[in-house]
Amino acid sequence: MNTIKRQIYLDKVVPFIDTNLIKVFTGSRRAGKSVMMQLVQEELVQRGVDRSQILSLNFESRIGGEAISAEYVWKSVKEEADKIKRRIYLFFDEVQELEGWEKLVNSIQIDFDVDIYITGSNAKLLSSELSTYLSGRYVEIKIYPFSFKEVVQMSEENNMPVDKRQLFRDYVVKGGYPVLYNYQMTYADEMLYLNDLFNSIILKDVAQRNNIRDVALFKQIVVFIMSNVGNLFSATSVMKYLKSEGRKISTETLYNYMDFCKTVYLVNMIQRQNLIGKELLTAQNKIYLTDHGLRQAIYGNNQRDINQILENIVCVELQRRGYDVTIGCIGTKEVDFCAVRNGETIYVQVTYLLASEETIEREFGSLKAIDDNYPKYVLSLDDFDMSRDGILHKNIVEWLLE
């Protein structure tokens, strides 16, 4: 199978090639960060860089049966530098697995003529440790699983028949993890892969790293949260659910668990914002998943809960396009997404179908209540254009392909 160039991310990297800024690819496990590293390497070769100048290491692999050490890496870079006597392009994959990687990257950049690219599946990669050693000297590029547009491109690249509506129905169910589109799989195989991926994230990236003892309880909470995608998150509702299941947990532990899930890019917590005073509201955020396919594998019902899933798809797509996203509140009305990019704002309402006058009034009414001239959209799966009062109505599938 072919792969696609993922141009949206390459365009973000290219301006920083051959600068002294470290390029940091972040995102969930199996979202395609390693492939992005390969695509950047191909870009370098096309620019005339010799392959001997490229050194690539994956810190999840073992060399000679032992984990790679920081000392081993430094010596390897020195050997290459002494031998090549030209700039070296370093690609460090899943760098959070290497103890002391922050000091190592810092010293390599000081000691040698290098251009550095790193990936990590843990948001703490860019927290205090990295900021301390590399303050102001890195640029972050967030990698997401395939967008629907990339799914269509993948089908075209592989000379497969492209029925956009059928592809979208599949996308609603299985999400965008690239491997699902790189191979021909049965539905059962796809769900098995997503199940294994979920367990790998829960066990390896969260439970082991944070010493969670009751993994079954943690997993139970995550599944409950997945079922409530797009709903207001409240600790009370989680506690109530656990009580009904004969389990209990402290509020502090619950919020720690939520932070762990954010750290490994499993969930997004989207804040609510008062659109009149513009202040962020701290109470009751909404939760969305970085990829909705995991929900189908673990909880199921993506098609039944189509409104929630469409909302999730649009939220992640806005973030993928570089928007900062909040939930808009205006009096008693709510706007699904207020999205800001480069000082420009758009407002977006998402619904399955504008099937009744009541639905139309609800979706358009929230946007009409906003007293500014920024673009306002209602997205649904309807084929007919129902734009009105200066508010644009678009078909979700067509919007995703823009």
Return the pLDDT at 1: 55
Laid out side by side, the sheet with 344-350 consists of: 280-289, 267-274, 324-330, 333-341, 344-350, 376-380, 392-395
Q: CB of 267 within 8 A of CB of 290?
A: yes
Select from 265, 32, 7, 16 the least CA-distant residue to 138: 16
Return the pLDDT at 265: 95
Return the pLDDT at 381: 98
Q: Which residues of the chain have pLDDT under 50?
A: none
CA separation for the pair 84, 117 (Å, rounded): 19
Return the pLDDT at 130: 60
* Alpha helices per DSSP H over 208-305: 215-227, 235-244, 251-263, 293-298
Q: Give the number of C-alpha atoms closer than 13 A to the C-alpha of residue 229, restricted to the C-beta side.
A: 31
Q: How far is CA 250 from CA 212, 241, 243, 247, 264, in A?
A: 14, 13, 12, 11, 22
291-314: pLDDT as tens digits:
999 999 999 999 999 999 999 999
188-219: pLDDT as tens digits:
999 999 999 999 999 989 999 999 999 999 99
Please provide the DSSP assignment of 6-45 as one string: -HHHHHHHGGGTTSSSEEEEE-STTSSHHHHHHHHHHHHH
Laid out side by side, the sheet with 22-26 consists of: 54-58, 88-93, 114-120, 22-26, 138-142
Compute the Cα dihedral for 127, 128, 130, 134 and give only its sign.
positive
Return the pLDDT at 61: 75
Q: How far is CA 395 from CA 146, 254, 361, 389, 392, in A?
A: 20, 38, 18, 18, 10
CA separation for the pair 60, 173 (Å, rounded): 30
Select from 206, 186, 177, 197 the least CA-distant residue to 35: 177
